[in-house]
Amino acid sequence: MDLGLADRTVVVTGGSSGVGLATVRALLDEGARVATCGRDADRLAKATASLDPERLFTAPCDVRDADAVRRFLDAVTDRFGPAVDGLVNNAGQSRMKPLDATTEEDWRDELELKFAGVLHPLAAARAALRASDAASIVNVNAVLAKQPETRLITTSAARAGILNLSKSLSAELAGEGIRVNSVCLGLVDTGQWTRRHAAAGSGQPYEEWQAALAADRGIALGRLGRAEEVAYAILMLLSPRASYITGTSIDVCGGVGRGIL
């Protein structure tokens, strides 16, 4: 099926690795023009070195810096034109700490990163999104937003706030022709998990270690997800074919869940 993304301009934050990089690749495969950013310029350059330079724009940018985000979006519209058709807010990370190990600074940093990662790109791209005839925002979130874990207490709380914010934005921006949806991912097989496997030093093959992790976390499909599996859901929500979908969230988590919501 043609998703209607060819020659559309899509901005993806956090495109240096994992879900962000997989989304960039998938969009380029669909013929889209893609702009992506990351905090580490060298890492971003290495990650995207093999991709089509004619349809890809990259620049270092920290989403916590509103001025830097605005400069990044200005550069995007200078390169690709005044309209932005899609915005994927993907920049973020998880903070593995329980309550008693969490400081006030941890709370401030986590909340700032998660909320700035949505609000700063939105503010910078809003006029360009309004210039599109099929504008869509996808906020990459996590099932932690609905199923909090005490060992990730700050991240769980921040993710829940972003899910709430996304719903509010879908109503607020509908009159401007901008759809807003979320993708809530579970455990995805990115570099952090291979590093944790190596650090564990168990000698257990990675596939067995991953299966045991999936069983411990209650993942029905018995494995971790792949970044491209999340990217496909993101592209569907970006597509003009999803023009009647807004204010919703899609779980891409292998069936993990403690409830039916």
Condensed to tens digits (0 to 9), the pLDDT of residues 147-198 reads: 887 888 998 999 999 999 999 999 999 999 999 999 999 999 987 788 888 8
**What is the chain's mean pLDDT, rounded?**
93
Largest CA distance in the chain: 56
Q: Would you state the pLDDT for residue 88?
A: 98
Percent of the chain with pLDDT over 90: 75
Report residue 91's pLDDT band, with 50, 70 and 90 as the boundaries. confident
pLDDT score of 141 more than 70:
yes
Interval 79-85 mean pLDDT? 98
Q: What order of strands is seen across the sheet that includes strand 249-252?
A: 56-60, 33-38, 9-13, 86-89, 135-142, 178-185, 249-252
Q: What is the DSSP string of 168-229?
A: HHHHHHGGGTEEEEEEEE--B-SHHHHHHHHHHT----HHHHHHHHHHHTT-TTSS-B-HHH
In the DSSP assignment, the letter for residue 102 is -
pLDDT tens column, 216-258? 888 999 999 999 999 999 999 999 999 999 999 999 999 987 6
The residue with tokens 């979908």 is: 245
Domains contained in the chain, CATH given: 9-187+226-248 (3.40.50.720), 190-223 (no CATH)
